[in-house]
Amino acid sequence: MQLRLSDQGYSDTSAATSLTQTLLWRQPTLTLPASPSLRYEERGAADATPSLLTPFSGFVLGHQSDNGSLRKISWSLEASNAGALGGDQFSLVQDAVTMGGSLSLTQTASGTTPSWALSSTGYTTLAQWQAALNALQYQNNSDNPGGERKLKLKLEDWQGQALNQELTLAVVPSDDTPMLLGLTSSATQRQSVVAGSVSPLGRTVTGSNGASVFAGLSVTDPDSSTLYLQIKPFNASLTGFTSGTNAQGLSTQVDANTGVVSLSGSPAALTAALNNASFGVFAKTADDPASPQTKLELRVSSTSASDAAGLATPTLTHYLQASASGSAADSTAPAFSPAGNLVLSSDENQRSVGSLQDLLRPNEVVVWSFLQGGEDNSRFELNPMTGVMSWRSTGDAPNFEAVSKSAVDNDNLFKVSVVATDISGNSATQVVSVQLRDVDEAPVRNSTLLPTTWLRNGLSGINFANYWMDPDTPEETLSFTSADLPTGLSLSNAGALSLNAGANWPSRMAFHLTVTDAGADAASRKSTTVPLVLDVFDGTSVKPVKVDAQDNLDLAGLGRASQALQVRVTLNTDVNVSGTVYASFIFGEQMDSNGYLTGGLSASGTYVSESNGVLLFNVALPADINSGAIRLSSLRVDGGELRSPFLATPLTDFSAYSLRPATDKALIDELTAAYTLDNSAPSQPLWQVSATALASGNGLDRSELTGKDANGNAVDAALKVLAEAGSTLNVKINGTNESREKTLTADASGITTITLTPTECAALGVGQASAQVSATDLAGNVSMLAFTDFKVL
């Protein structure tokens, strides 16, 4: 069966191409980095907290409209191993979003295809969307998340246009740090060595040539099959190691000069060698009780022997206390050096003080504690293993210029009493003085609250010199600068901030303030830079200061009949909304002979939302006005108010009906927005015969379509129609037996294929037929074209 179609109109290729290009809707755009990727952090013992990553940091948003923005960004994840998706998490850093936006992140689905959406409750600029997308953080809490993710990203604008992007993102595991486990929970192991016997943590292991001190030690790394381990002795010798490769594939190298042993092999082979091999540590002893103590340093690397030798990874230090000889116990107490009054110096306002270990003989191993009764012990913390002393908190670290000083003599000299106890139980006490040092400090805020608001009509400026001070004695003169001061704002070197004449500021502005003291030269000058946000208000009452309009379909400001115009009314401050908000607007008014605005069409606004002092309304567009201006005529709140946290008087009823251009031009301009309406119907659809539907040698001309190929086999009859992209096509074909209807959306290319199956062609019946096609655009405008010269063959 064949379907004959006579095309009323033309369908040459050049016209079709031109029409397609003209009718494309403007839509969001997305530029991707060269190779986007996600990473994850395994939750092993070495790295229990996965890192936060920003996988969209290189993505660049855009829009084909000059002022286009977005309504929502959504995305979903898929993985070949669906069970691996449970650990994926996204979060939004609010501080990274440009001020003025009202964005929120929600997880919209979980399970095998989790999805998320970044949405805006009000108008958000493209720059704010860009900042939010780049600041999205990703982490994976799974220890086996699979090898890749398929990410489906969708950008939607207020016009209903969407951009879909599908990405395959590699999930690259991070390299876990190799670990040495089994001696103690800390990084240090201490034990005594006396005449060939070793007692690690209560165990006694004897041997004629030292002892096996590494029983229970294990080497682990979840990422690497080969590890490199170095054992470096100090004042000791390692026995039982020989260079070469053993049966377990463990490679061993012994440095004849230093005694350093380097091992490489699998974690299991390293662990077996350290636990089971016949070797020992032969501690060098001396009759001199002040001889340096023996220790071994073990370092492990997953990359190379040189990394281990270069101490590139954390160290496990194994100390051995050598006695004089035989089985006699060590009875020599730790010795402080130099003897007498010992002093540590501490910079003011800094928590760290120093290490008491530096006050002992070199390499002496002790446990530290405070001796009860020290003058200022209560102000400090002491690490018992390392001897590092610090103030109890950053806030406890004293200020040199402050009144609060040491507990007794008020002279910036603090005294603590400490005890050093070695592993044989010998101890020594010492009074240590902490001398507080005066340093040149950067300027700081004083106790006066820095203003966050500026009443433009009630305050001539702000003097930052009233809010900052130099903490040093004597105080130095401060200077004030800003690298990103908004245009039209002036800042003097002395700190006076003022608006230039005629400046018209938005309700909020942000910049950075740098305060610098007057040091002798550039190297000695100290400075502090802080971000500031300043809300700028007209007067002391809440009131509207700006109106702008855009329709829901095109953020460039092009409106369409029968659609709601989206109107934003900007107030001079942030507000809390209570009650019911109403707004009235006037379209197309004119000025009368007395200088007043009259005429025009009035329309009510339906309140939608408020964000950062911006009220959003939907306003029905008059069908018979194509362009002009829309002005806010009134704004009121029933049963409530618009109250500002900064201004004294809330807004309950605002009227702008009696404005005169001669006297109120500035306010009229602020409360008026231009708009343009598009009431035109979409371009008329045109039939274009599909080349694929013409079978070679079947004798049909260009106006005929067939449901069979040249061999008589049944095939689909494919029609093509040129129609405005995005419009809804309704096609109806009336045959002798029945009618067939199809509804579809015009393709983005402007050329849409309509398919009739052989069964559908047969159902129409043989004989004369008619057809109609209509195209309806997003605004509801309709174009139609009828066809009567159909014939089903």
CA 675 to chain centre: 37
Cβ atoms of 785 and 683 closer than 8 Å: no
Contact (CB, 8 A) for 348 and 436: yes
Q: What is the pLDDT of residue 44?
A: 45
pLDDT category at 686 given cuts 50, 70, 90 is low
More confidently predicted of 350 and 235: 350
Residues 732 and 688 grouped into a single domain:
yes
- CATH for 673: 2.60.40
8 Å CB contact between 91 and 137: yes
The domain boundary residue, chosen from 483, 518, 553: 518
pLDDT score, position 577 = 93
- pLDDT above 60 for 520: yes
Q: 18-32, 403-417, 506-520: lowest mean pLDDT where?
A: 18-32
pLDDT over 60 (residue 18): no
- Lowest-confidence range among 305-314, 402-411, 522-531? 305-314
Mean pLDDT for 114-131 is: 77
The percent of residues in the chain predicted with pLDDT above 70, rounded, is 58
Whether 58 and 162 share a structural domain:
yes
Residues 549 and 651 in one domain: yes
- What pLDDT sits at residue 210? 43
Average pLDDT, the chain: 69
Q: pLDDT band for 640, please (50, 70, 90 cuts).
A: very high
With respect to residue 327, please indicate whether it lies within any of the assigned structural domains. no
Bridge-based pairing of strands 427-437 and 342-347 is parallel
pLDDT average, residue stretch 699-721: 60
Instruction: List the 739-745 sheet strands across, edge first.
Output: 704-706, 2-4, 782-792, 767-776, 728-734, 739-745
Residue of higher predicted confidence among 339 and 789: 339
- Residue 335: inside a domain, yes or no? no
Amino acid at 311: L
Task: Check pLDDT > 80 for residue 529.
Answer: yes
Residue 13 confidence (pLDDT): 29
pLDDT confidence of 634, banded at 50, 70, 90? Answer: very high
Structure letter (DSSP) for residue 541:
B
> For position 236, what pLDDT does the model report?
63
Q: In the chain, helix, strand, coil percent, each to 5?
A: 10, 45, 45
Q: Does 674 share its domain with 686? A: no
Residue 588 pLDDT > 60: yes
The pLDDT confidence band at residue 748, using thresholds 50, 70 and 90, is confident
Confidence of residue 259 (pLDDT cuts 50, 70, 90): confident
| CATH number, domain with residue 353 | 2.60.40.60
DSSP 665-684: HHHHHHTEEEEEEE-PPPPP
Q: Report how far apart, in Å, the C-alpha atoms of 513 and of each of 195, 443, 466, 671 are.
A: 69, 12, 14, 33
Give the pLDDT band (50/70/90) at residue 730.
confident
Q: Kindly indicate the confidence band of residue 150, based on its pLDDT and cuts at 50, 70 and 90.
A: confident
Distances from the Cα of 108 to the Cα of 82, 97, 120, 528, angstroms: 17, 21, 15, 43
72 strand-pairing partners: 119, 156
- The domain of 402 spans 342-437
- Does residue 402 sit within a domain? yes
- What is the percentage of the chain residues whose pLDDT exceeds 90? 5
Asked whether residue 283 is domain-assigned, the answer is yes
Q: What is the DSSP pairing of strand 601-611 with strand 580-587?
A: antiparallel
**Span 321-345, average pLDDT:** 62
pLDDT in tens, 711-723: 677 777 767 777 7
Distance of alpha carbon 654 from alpha carbon 584, whole angstroms? 10
User: Which pairing describes strands 37-40 and 162-173: parallel, antiparallel, or unpaired?
Assistant: parallel
**250 and 267 in a common domain:** yes
Q: What is the pLDDT of residue 638?
A: 94
Question: Coil, strand, or helix at residue 17?
Answer: helix
**Which domain CATH number covers 747?**
2.60.40.10
| Band (698; pLDDT cuts 50, 70, 90) | very low
What are the pLDDT digits (tens) for 195-242?
333 333 222 233 334 445 566 677 877 667 788 888 877 666 666 677
Residues 6+ apart with CB under 8 A from 681: 777, 781, 782, 783
Q: Are 207 and 309 contained in the same domain?
A: yes
Considering 437, 469, 494, which residue would you say is the last residue of a domain? 437
Q: Do 282 and 240 share a domain, yes or no? A: yes
Is the per-residue pLDDT at 555 higher than 70? no
Amino acid letter for position 216: G
State residue 227's pLDDT score: 85
CA separation for the pair 206, 203 (Å, rounded): 10
Phi (first) and psi of residue 222, to 5 degrees: -70, -10
End-to-end CA distance of the chain: 6
Contacts of residue 276, defined as CB under 8 A and 6 or more positions apart, other chains included, come to: none
Position 548 scores a pLDDT of 84
How many Cα atoms sit within 13 Å of 453 on the Cβ side?
15
Per DSSP, the three-state class of 197 is: strand
Q: What's the whole-number mean pLDDT along residues 254-280?
A: 78
pLDDT band at 583 (very low <50, low <70, confident <90, very high): very high
Distances (CA, A) of 529 to 65, 66, 446, 481, 495: 38, 35, 15, 9, 14
Give mean pLDDT, residues 684-700. Answer: 40
- Asked whether residue 407 carries a pLDDT value surpassing 70, the answer given is no
693 and 776 assigned to the same domain = yes
- State whether 298 and 240 are in the same domain: yes
Check whether residue 601 and residue 473 sit in a common domain: no
What pLDDT was estimated at residue 642? 92
Does 223 map to a domain? yes
Mean pLDDT on 759-780: 74
For the beta carbon of residue 230, count every other beta carbon within 10 angstroms.
Answer: 25
153-165, pLDDT tens digit by residue? 888 876 677 888 8
Domain identity same for 347 and 468: no
H or E element at residue 453: strand 453-455
For residue range 174-183, list pLDDT tens digits in order. 556 677 666 4
Higher pLDDT, residue 550 or 203: 550
Within 13 A of 367's CA, how many CA atoms are on the CB side?
9
Mean pLDDT, residues 246-258: 79
How many structural domains does the chain have? 6
Tokens representing residue 297 in the block:
């340093």
Of the listed ranges 36-40, 241-245, 315-319, 707-711, the least confidently predicted one is 315-319
Residue 637 placed within a domain = yes
Identify whether 221 is part of a domain: yes
**Domain shared by 373 and 477, yes or no:** no
- Please calculate the CA angle 32-34-38 and round it to the nearest 5 degrees: 80
Of 383, 404, 437, the residue that ends a domain is: 437
- What's the pLDDT at 206? 32
The full DSSP string for 756-780 is E-HHHHHHH-SEEEEEEEEEE-TTS
pLDDT given for residue 635 in this prediction = 94
Q: Considering only residues 251 and 561, tell me which one the structure prediction assigns the higher pLDDT.
A: 251
Alpha-carbon span 201 to 203, nearest angstrom? 6
Strands 686-689 and 717-722: antiparallel
Return the closest-CA partner of residue 157 out of 551, 567, 560, 570.
Answer: 551
In a domain, residue 152? The reply is yes
